């Protein structure tokens, strides 16, 4: 193989292997994990409970701990799909919603924007009442993945994925 053609072929193989290793739902989309602090006793939530936690409809965990919902920044790949699932809104509708919530003082009705997915993982790991969403491939041992309606990221029928 000539040196000029080796790199593109090697890069394609590495990239293909990386993409194949990402958790995906049945539609082939990269799965988005809902994560909580490891001390949280919750291991599964219904879609409705999850939506209530992120929208401020439910403000305490069963143990009394205050819920702190965290979101990635809008430019993160998982953000639009998570917002569509959690709020039933497009990204543009959600931005208007958050502006209105800030204007009316109802900031507890929207997740706190934490920044990068890595920052969300770190903040959830360090905050007992935190819940957030990230690409499932970023989940490490410092946080716990919560099932949605009994399904984990990568399971057939898992409802939360990003294309």
Q: What share of the chain is helix, strand, coil (3-state, %, to 5)?
A: 40, 25, 35
Assess whether pLDDT exceeds 70 at residue 20: no
Kindly report, residue by residue over 54-103, the tens digit of the pLDDT: 998 899 998 899 999 999 999 999 999 999 999 999 989 988 988 888 88
Residue pair 45/146 in contact (Cβ under 8 Å)? The answer is yes
pTM: 0.79
| Structural domains in the chain plus CATH codes | 24-162 (3.40.190.10)
List pLDDT tens digits, range 119-147: 999 999 999 999 999 999 999 999 999 99
pLDDT bin (cut points 50, 70, 90) of residue 5 is: very low
pLDDT tens track for 65-75: 999 999 999 99
């Amino acid at each position: 193989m000539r040196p000029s053609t080796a790199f593109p072929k090697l890069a394609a193989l590495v990239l293909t292997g990386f993409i194949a290793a990402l958790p995906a739902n049945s539609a082939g989309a990269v799965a988005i994990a809902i994560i909580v602090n490891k001390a949280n006793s919750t291991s599964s939530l219904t879609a409705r409970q999850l939506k209530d936690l992120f929208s401020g409809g439910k403000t305490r965990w069963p143990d009394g701990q205050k819920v702190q919902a965290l979101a990635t920044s809008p430019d993160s790949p998982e953000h639009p799909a998570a917002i569509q699932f959690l709020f039933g809104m497009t990204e543009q509708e959600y931005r208007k919603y958050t502006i209105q919530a800030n204007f009316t003082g109802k900031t507890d009705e929207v997740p706190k924007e934490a920044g990068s997915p890595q920052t969300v993982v770190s903040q959830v790991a360090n905050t007992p009442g935190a819940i957030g969403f990230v690409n499932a491939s970023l989940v490490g041992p410092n946080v716990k993945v919560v099932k949605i309606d009994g399904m984990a990221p990568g399971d057939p029928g898992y409802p939360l994925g990003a294309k």
